[in-house]
Amino acid sequence: MTKCKFCNKESYVKLKSPKIHLCKEHFIEYFENKVEKSIKKYNMLNKDEKILVSVSGGKDGHAAAWVLKKLGYNIELFHINLGIKGFSESSLKAVEELAKKLNVPLHIINLKDITGKTLEDIRGKKCSICGITKRYLMNKFGYEHGFDVIVTGHNLDDEVSFILNNILNWNIRYLAKHEPVLPAHDKFLKKVKIFFEIEEDLILKYAEAENIPFTTVKCRFAEKAITLKHREYFNELEKLRPNIKYQFLAGYMKNRRIFKCEEDENFEFRECEICGMTSAGRICSFCRVWKLYKNKNKSNSK
């Protein structure tokens, strides 16, 4: 039996750097310290802030809520029922279990109540519409209910695959925008990714070690996303060069200023003509993808 580096118990996980074995208890301690260090390093959160954690039912958001609660932060949970058959039911169940175990308030919004439709009902790029929808509804809810910050479970694997995807497409503008902390402006709340530097594998190990409830049911619309392919290459590369994901991200953080352009920094946002939230254009992307301007015209003509 392989033993823990710090005690006589059986190894639960082998870390890549430093290359050591840890038992379950020492791994939990290691993981929570690592998250706390990240929070301090990027000045992500403080204990006076009212934090809204986005939970989709999956391990990342759930582990984020769990670790923040253990570290003594003031959190509440936010979930959107997207109305995707099979997936949404099991997500909802996991989210409710989590809220009960953590003993924190859970806010649930039904997409259909707001847009009249579910994600099942729409045609077109469901993944990108889903992303726009989640970001918008979470921000609007947080803004209207006096939260200071929104935390999401995006992890190191998400970040490196987004960055790679934006390099492949030369989306220079998006390349300037991968940050662990996005400061608040206008009606946009501060947004924080506490797992920015933390690998997905470790989050899964932590969720299992702590018996955190989560669902493994995947959204069937997400399967073709190209960023899933990027994750696979990165995991292959990790086998040849351990820690390459972290090094790629660290190099990006050091050099990301080269992608910033003045035009974007001085960009003036306005208020969406339909919903009044902060928007880059006349109508925000949420109102645009859900065609909410049509509803407005209808109700005006009544």
Q: Which stretch binds Zn ion (CB under 5 A): 44-52, 177-185, 204-212, 275-283?
A: 275-283
Instruction: Say whether 79 counts as a known binding-site residue.
Output: no
Compute φ and ψ for 67, nearest 5 degrees. -70, -35
Q: How far apart are CA 276 and CA 287, in angstroms?
A: 10
Taking the least distance from each CB to Zn ion, the nearer of 22 and 175 is 22
Beta bridge partners of 150: 52, 191
Query: Which H/E stretch holds residue 248?
Result: helix 244-255
Among 65, 67, 272, 289, binds Zn ion (CB under 5 A): 272
Q: How far apart are CA 48 and CA 54, in angstroms?
A: 19
Laid out side by side, the sheet with 74-81 consists of 106-110, 74-81, 50-54, 149-155, 190-195, 181-182
Q: Does 287 bind Zn ion (CB under 5 A)?
A: yes
Q: Does 42 bind Zn ion (CB under 5 A)?
A: no
Taking the least distance from each CB to Zn ion, the nearer of 225 and 275 is 275
Q: Which stretch binds Zn ion (CB under 5 A): 104-112, 169-177, 203-211, 264-272?
A: 264-272
- In sequence order, which residues have a C-beta less than 8 Å from that of residue 227 and are 6 or more positions away? 158, 161, 162, 165
CB of 271 to Zn ion, least distance (A): 8
Give the CA angle between residues 66, 71, 75 to the nearest 5°.
Answer: 60
Locate 141 and state its tokens.
């809810």
Among 7, 184, 250, 280, binds Zn ion (CB under 5 A): 7
Three-class DSSP category at 278: strand
Among 12, 13, 21, 26, binds Zn ion (CB under 5 A): 26
Q: Which stretch binds Zn ion (CB under 5 A): 22-30, 112-120, 137-145, 243-251?
A: 22-30
Q: Does 23 bind Zn ion (CB under 5 A)?
A: yes
The residue behind tokens 């039911």 is: 89
Taking the least distance from each CB to Zn ion, the nearer of 26 and 245 is 26
Q: Which stretch binds Zn ion (CB under 5 A): 47-55, 172-180, 237-245, 278-286?
A: 278-286
# binding residues, Zn ion (CB under 5 A):
11
Binding site for Zn ion (CB under 5 A): 4, 6-7, 9, 23, 26, 272, 274-275, 284, 287
